Chains A and B, each alone.
Chain A
Amino acid sequence: MGTSTAMATLGLDAHSLSEQLGSLAQGLGIERWDLGAACSTDTSVQVDRGEAKQLKGAQRSAITVRVWNGDGLVGITSTSDLSPAGLARALSGARDASAYGNADDIPAFSPLATAPLEPLDQPLVEPRGILELLDTLREAERELLSRHAAITTVPYNGLAQRSSERLYLNSAGACREQKLTTASLYLYARSEEEGRKPRSSGAVRLAYGLQQLDVAGCIAEAAERTIAHLDYAPIQTGHYTCIFSPEAFLDLIGAFSSLFNARAVLDGVSLSDREALGSTLAVPFLSIHDNGLHPGNVGASNFDGEGTPVRRLALVEGGVLRHFLHSEATARAFGVEPTGHAGLGAKVSVGPHWFEVGPSAGSSGGASGLDRHSADGVVWIDSLSALHAGVKASQGSFSLPFDGWLIRNGEARSIEAATVAGDIRAVLKGLLGFEGEAKLTPDGLCPHVWVEGLSVTGDA
């Protein structure tokens, strides 16, 4: 293989896989089965002060087989071995596991597994050679380092590209296929000044291929964010009006998405219960939709793990909880249609795709004239960290470190180190309003969001 050649892409053959599985299943007396399969080829590079740090490639394949036994109970097995022996082992493992299937919650094929899919506009981009990735990242690092004397290194960086395929098949004839290419870039710079603590910030970009990647925008944003935190001061502990950046608010909503998750509701670990639909969850001007099909959602899928089409779904409208996210089994339990948010497993998981947050139709979006550039005594939260540890989704509480600024008389000064704490229910009912236009981010679409009276712990 030449040095500038991209790694070859593995291929999934839906027809062949279906025939193999069907034949093996028949031999094992299994009449009903489905499977999810994926394979990908990845290349990625990291650099360190102009030198290649690590060059990586990966060829991955994975398959999850689900079978129904004679008693109607379900078992699964996953494997990375797509050889005939691997498939046979997966089927026999799934059959063994089905003896322990949950008789109280038996998944079925999605009734929408053969329904028409919304087309996606996703160009398939030819992957580039790894040395081209390396040159691109080296240049990006060099450019970022040149933006400010205090930016000394870019310790966390990476440029990656992926070609992938995904399948859903079942013994009733459903066949979903998707091919996708993506490229991603992240640049996290570290700045150091004499007598001051080191600071760090960065930016991320996604696209369908290296050529489409907004490298210049990523460099500019990483530089701007890093420089904006150079001049910092500690903040006094207290209660503050907070302005969440679009990224930070989407992170918060995502961390508490069990509010909208029918699986979590049925399991008793959501703050919502079955009767919560139609109840007021937030201020009347808030709307939240899940829209995995939004053109800004790079890498979107138009079907979920059970083959159900993905669609735009209203979760909150006018502050009122409108719909839950569903798999086939939870939808059946609620007497509604699946919404296209399922995974594939022994216990089928449910999760959101991509949020759209903004003012409800016909509303002005809360208080008018909100402008962080003329605010006073307000905390502007740029990014939240440690969501895995600082969020108690089943309790509604959060305590999260953040990077941000304290705004005094319209002047923003970076906060040295602080955490913001609160309760998601109080946050949703304490929204003051939206500021500016919604911003497109990798996780969704959202404007800046003003929230009243959150507890901020600082070092002052």
Chain B
Amino acid sequence: MLALEGFDLSWRQRLEPLLAAGRAAGASLVEVFLESADHIGLLAEQDRITSVSPAFGRGAGVRVFRGERDGFVSTNDLSERGLLVALEQALGMLGLTISSSSLSGFDGLPELHDHALAKGDWLGACPTLAESTDRLLEGTALLDRHGQHLQARRGSYARDWQEVMVAASDGTFARDIRLHQSVGLTALAADGDHRASQGRRYGSSDRPDDLRQWDAQAAAIDLCASTQAMLHADYVEAGTYPVVLANRFGGVIFHEACGHLLETTQVERGTTPFADRIEAPIAHSAVTAIDEGLSDGAFGSLSMDDEGMVPQRTVLIENGVLKRFLSDRAGELRTGHPRTGSGRRQSHAFAAASRMRNTYIAAGPHTPEQLIESVDRGLYCKSMGGGSVGPTGQFNFAVEEGYLIENGRLGKPVKGATLIGEAKEVMPRLSMCANDLELAAGFCGSVSGSIFVTVGQPHIKVDAITVGGR
């Protein structure tokens, strides 16, 4: 395919007049986010490649602040005229118009902070289409080899390459290249009236070679074992139980149920119960939770956020005490919580908002076995599915692979379980953390679109939680 045009230093001459014009019109801050994206998605079903879907695009998001208010316009038109029109429209939303005044209060952009310097060859270093399709077909063939009663086998792969440039009238001028790859396997097993479907997804950032390194054999064996275990499982009985949640993707509950409540977008809306709880206990003392954008190769890691800021390691909760909120530019402006390098967006079509990156509960002192042994009758959630959090903080999450715990030992597999609760009530009941922290890749959809994130935790125990079932 023909190459995409990137963003080089010649953009300085096009961006500076825009920023100056916006400031001269009366904006307190003007930000331009440029994006060039190249995506490929592949799907293998049974032993065939059934979809190869390349996509590419370019665009810009222009955001203008006037005090705490802001206007945002996105466009696919990156011509000088197109960007000027977008700026005019964003200014117009705030009652501002471009004037002929030369008094802009803007001193020009500083030297480019270029995070992309060593990343120029990443796209070319990724697996070719032939390599990628071969690896996926290897995955579905391994499912066939290791699975039983499989009615449908699927493998999917996505490679997202993105070049961004951020320029703002406060002197931000930065460029980055991002690379995300994810590969997943799903299987549907059927035996008479019994059906079970399971999936696994792996993801990384900034590692062009990652699909080549993917352990398809281990992924297929793990998935087939899980599907087999759940195929003839009985439905779980509804009730309130102690629950042990496995490490890795079990962290999705903390992400959804608590993490979102620690974003300044929620403080602005008045929808978090933790808004005035800084330095107050909000969780059991066993809980320390962190959000960072720094872990090498993790799906939610960044060299800079989508507002040009280098991400930090942010301790959200320390020994049960709330320490910090995740904040972006608008969040700092409107709530006073300092920026944490958490301004993120799906693409140029969204204004950045405070969002999570790699979010996890820190490891504790126990072994996973000690957590299970501490439960007389409860539920072990080995694999979690998706979930949601309502506007008043109630959450629910599907348990994809669950087992009863009886007298401190794992019992029979059970299906149909849903964990239900509220972060404010559940966090103080999270009483034990094991020593086996692991991270898992995921996607998070929220106010600024769908973004790459990592969730994680060690095995954890919640003393009591409502389990929906039959």
Binding site for B on A (CB under 8 A): 1-3, 5, 7-8, 48, 51-62, 75-82, 85, 88-90, 92-94, 96-97, 99-102, 104-105, 130-131, 152-153, 155-156, 188, 190, 197-200, 237, 267-269, 345-347, 385-386, 388-390, 392, 394-397, 399, 401, 417, 419, 421-422, 455, 457, 459
Query: Whole-angstrom distance between the alpha carbons of A410 and B175 in the complex?
Result: 64
Can you show 24 pairs from A to B with CB atoms below 8 A apart? A54-B351, A55-B94, A62-B57, A75-B52, A76-B53, A80-B56, A80-B59, A92-B2, A93-B1, A93-B54, A104-B48, A130-B92, A155-B391, A200-B390, A200-B391, A237-B238, A268-B152, A347-B50, A347-B51, A394-B152, A394-B188, A399-B417, A401-B418, A459-B420
What are the residues of chain B within 8 A of A155 when measuring CB–CB? Answer: 269-271, 391
Interface residues in B247-277 by Cβ distance below 8 A to A read 268-271
Give the residues in chain B near A61, CB-CB below 8 Å.
Answer: 76
- A54-B351, A55-B71, A59-B76 given; name 17 further pairs at CB < 8 Å: A1-B89, A8-B85, A52-B69, A55-B70, A56-B71, A57-B74, A88-B2, A89-B1, A96-B129, A102-B48, A156-B391, A188-B391, A386-B396, A419-B468, A421-B238, A422-B470, A457-B467
Q: Which residues of B lie under 8 Å from residue A77 when comparing CB positions?
A: 1, 53-56
Interchain CA distance A325-B71 in the complex, whole Å: 42
Total chain B interface residues with beta-carbon distance under 8 A: 74
The CA-CA distance from A93 to B39 in the complex, in Å, is 11
In the complex the two chains form, is B239's CB within 8 Å of A390's CB?
no
**With contact pairs A55-B70, A76-B53, A93-B1 given, residues A1 and B392 touching in the complex (Cβ less than 8 Å):** no
Distance between Cα atoms of A53 and B393 in the complex (Å)? 22
- Given A199-B392, A419-B418: A102 and B152 within 8 A (CB)? no
How far is A385 from B386 in the complex, measured between Cα atoms in Å? 12
How many pairs, one residue from A and one from B, have CB atoms within 8 Å of each other in the complex? 229
**Chain A binding surface SS class:** mixed
Given contacts A395-B197, A399-B468, is CB(A421)–CB(B269) below 8 Å?
Answer: no
Closest to B421 in A: A417
Pick the contact of A59: B74, B93, B390 (CB < 8 A): B74
Residues of B whose CB lies within 8 Å of any CB of A are 1-2, 4, 43, 45, 48-59, 69-77, 85-86, 88-90, 92-95, 97, 129, 133, 151-152, 188, 195-197, 238-239, 268-271, 349, 351, 385-388, 390-394, 396-398, 415-418, 420, 466-470
Q: A104-B48, A389-B388 are in contact. Are A56 and B268 (CB under 8 A)?
A: no
Bound Cα distance from A416 to B90, whole angstroms: 43
Complex alpha-carbon distance, A396 and B69, angstroms: 47
Contact of B95 among A3, A96, A188 (CB under 8 A): A3
Asked if A389 meets B398 with Cβ closer than 8 Å, knowing A78-B55, A394-B195, the reply is yes
Given the known A-B contacts A200-B390, A389-B398, are A399 and B416 also in contact in the complex, defined by CB atoms under 8 Å? yes
Q: Is the CB–CB distance between A78 and B398 below 8 Å? A: no
Residue of chain A at shortest CB distance from B42: A100
Task: Pick the contact of A389: B1, B43, B133, B386 (CB < 8 A).
Answer: B386
Q: Is B57 a contact of A80 with CB atoms below 8 Å?
A: yes
Shortest distance in angstroms between B455's beta carbon and chain A's nearest beta carbon? 14
Q: Which 7 A-B pairs have the closest CB atoms?
A: A80-B57, A389-B386, A386-B388, A55-B93, A457-B468, A419-B468, A78-B55
Q: When the two chains form their complex, are residues B2 and A89 in contact, meaning their CB atoms are under 8 A apart?
A: yes
Residues in B whose Cβ lies below 8 Å from that of A81: 56-58, 76
Q: Is the CB of B52 within 8 A of A100?
A: yes
Q: How far is the CB of B197 from chain A (nearest CB, A)?
A: 5
Taking CB atoms, residues of chain B closer than 8 Å to A346 are: 50-53
- With both beta carbons as reference points, the residue of chain B lying nearest to A188 in the complex is identified as B391
CA distance A397 to B394 in the complex (A): 22
Does A153 contact B92, Cβ atoms closer than 8 Å?
no
Distance in angstroms from B97 CB to nearest chain A CB is: 8
Q: Does B469 contact A457, Cβ atoms closer than 8 Å?
A: yes
Q: Once bound together, how far apart are the Cα atoms of A459 and B390, in whole Å? A: 16
